[in-house]
Structure 1
Amino acid sequence: MTVFCMAFVIFELFMIYWFAQGVVDESINVGTCIGLSNWYEADVKTLKMLQLMMIRSSRRLALRVGPFYDMELDVFLKICKMMYTVVTVFKRNL
C-alpha cells in the first residue's frame, strides 16, 4: 500500500510540473506568434496592444512555488533524485 501511495504522489507531482513546463514553453512562443500574424492589417489601437504583448512576452511566464523556485521539469528531476537519495540513506541505516 505504501508503494502505491508513493507512486501516486510521484505521478501527481510529475503532472503538476509537466503542465507548469507547458506554461513556460508556451509563454516563449507568444511573441513569435504575434510576429507571424497579420499585425500590419490591424488598426492603431490593436497595434499598440500587440506591441505591449510582445514587450511583455520577452520575459517568460512561470509558476512559482512560494518565493523559492520556478516549477519546471528540471526541478522535478532534482526532487526525484533527492527523494531517491533520502530513501536509500534511510534504507541503508535500517
Structure 2
Amino acid sequence: MGATIIICVTLFLITTSEQHFAALVKLQGYLIVVVYEIFMYCWFGDDVMYQSSRLLESVYTCGWPGAPPSLQKALVVVLLRARRPLGLTAGKFYHVSRETFVSLMKASYSYYALLNQMNN
C-alpha cells in the first residue's frame, strides 16, 4: 500500500507541479527507481513460487525406485513439504508475484487519476 501511494503521489507531482527541470528529472528518476525496486521483488518472488511448484514433479521423476532406502525416506519428506509451494508474502497480505506488480501499478494509476481529477 505504501508503494502504491508513493508512486501515485510522485506521478502526481511530476505531472502537476511547475518546478524546475532539474527537480522534475529527480522526481522522474525517483519514480523509476521505486517502480524498478517493486518490479524486482515481484519478478523474483514469482520465480521462487514457480520453481517451488516444479519441485514436486522433479522429485517424483528423479528415479527414486532404484535409490537406497535412506534417500527414498528423504525424498518422501521433500515430497510432503513440496505439496505447499514456497512463496514470498508482503506483510502476510498477498503473495509477491508478477500479477501483484500489475495490480499495484493499476492501483497507483487509479489513485493518480482520482487525484488529478480532483485537482482539475
Is 1:14 the equivalent of 2:39?
yes
Taking structure 2 as the reference length, the TM-score comes to: 0.73
Shift of the alpha carbon at 1:13? 0.5
Is 1:63 the equivalent of 2:96?
no
Larger Rg: 2
User: Identity percentage over the alignment?
Assistant: 23
Q: Which residue of 2 aligns with 1:50?
A: 75
- Number of corresponding residues: 94
Q: Give deviations 1:4-38, integer Å, cap 9, x for gaps.
A: 21111111101110000000000011111112212
Taking structure 1 as the reference length, the TM-score comes to: 0.91
Unaligned ranges ≥5, structure 2: 1-25
Q: Which moved more, 1:10-19 or 1:32-41?
A: 32-41
In structure 2, C-alpha distance between the alignment counterparts of 1:6 and 1:41, rounded to whole Å: 55
Shift of the alpha carbon at 1:74? 1.2
CA RMSD of aligned residues (A): 1.2
Q: Work out which of the residue numbers 37, 48, 52 in structure 2 matches 1:27.
A: 52
Shift of the alpha carbon at 1:69? 1.4
Q: Which residue of 1 aligns with 2:66?
A: 41
Q: Give deviations 1:44-73, integer Å, cap 9, x for gaps.
A: 111011011112111111111122111111
